[in-house]
Copies of this chain bind each other. A is one copy, B any other.
Amino acid sequence: MSSVDRVYSEVRAMAAAFEFKPDERINELRLAKFVGTSRTPLREALNRLVAEGFLTYRNGQGFFCRSLEPGGIMNLYEARIAVECEGIRLASERAEDVEITALRSYLHWIEPIYRGDAGPEKLVELDEEFHLKIIRLSANSELERMLVNLNARSRFVRRIDMEKRRAITPADHLAIVRALSIRDPAAATERMRQHITRRREEALAAVRNAFSRLYVSQGAM
């Protein structure tokens, strides 16, 4: 694994968790030393992150953390609706029965963890994984790529949201899988839309609280 890939993953995780404060300028030399490399591979990684929407770039001024506005979060959730609703529609046409059965098993498999003492990171991870499994059933790598990106960029907010809720409510997920298993694209799409919309409303409320913690916490940098 090359330095660029390693640095990319590391900085991406930092950006996803807003360890850079919104709109904060990124000092290349400092960050390069922090991740243990030189500016050249770091800048290559930063350029990827610009293309993926994690950072912004202004000529002559360098790289900046993306800003965190409620409107921007809304946009991410709406984009998720676009991707996931079409994804589940395709999945309901293309998935093998055995794959849907496996999905249902996964839900039952992780249910004890819901009720256990898993931390918010773990809960978000399980939730993302469920949605990813559905997208994969659409057999469309573009939709999957888009969802991976949207997940990473909204993870911070979802984590905050999960902290408040303390649990995943599995009812939505079960209803989605049920619609999928009876091959009802319209119902599956509608369930998915409602599900994500609900989460969006929660997240929107959560993000307002998020501001405070962002500007207080002193990250590793």
Q: Please report the C-alpha to C-alpha distance between residue A47 and residue B41 in the assembled complex, in whole angstroms.
A: 10
Q: CB of A4 within 8 A of chain B?
A: yes
Measured between beta carbons, the chain B residues less than 8 angstroms from A50 are 48
Number of copies: 2
Chain A 1-33 near chain B by CB (<8 Å), digits 1 or 0: 110110000000000000000000000000000
**Per-residue interface assignment for chain A, residues 23 to 61, with 1 indicating a CB less than 8 Å from any chain B CB and 0 otherwise:** 000000000000000001001110111111100000110
> What range describes how many residues of A lie at the interface?
35 or more
Which B residues lie within 8 Å of A40 (CB)? 40
List chain B residues, Cβ under 8 A from A100.
none
Where the two chains meet, the residues of A that have a C-beta atom closer than 8 Å to any C-beta of B are 1-2, 4-5, 40, 43-45, 47-53, 59-60, 75-76, 78-79, 81-83, 85-87, 90, 138, 140-143, 145-146, 150
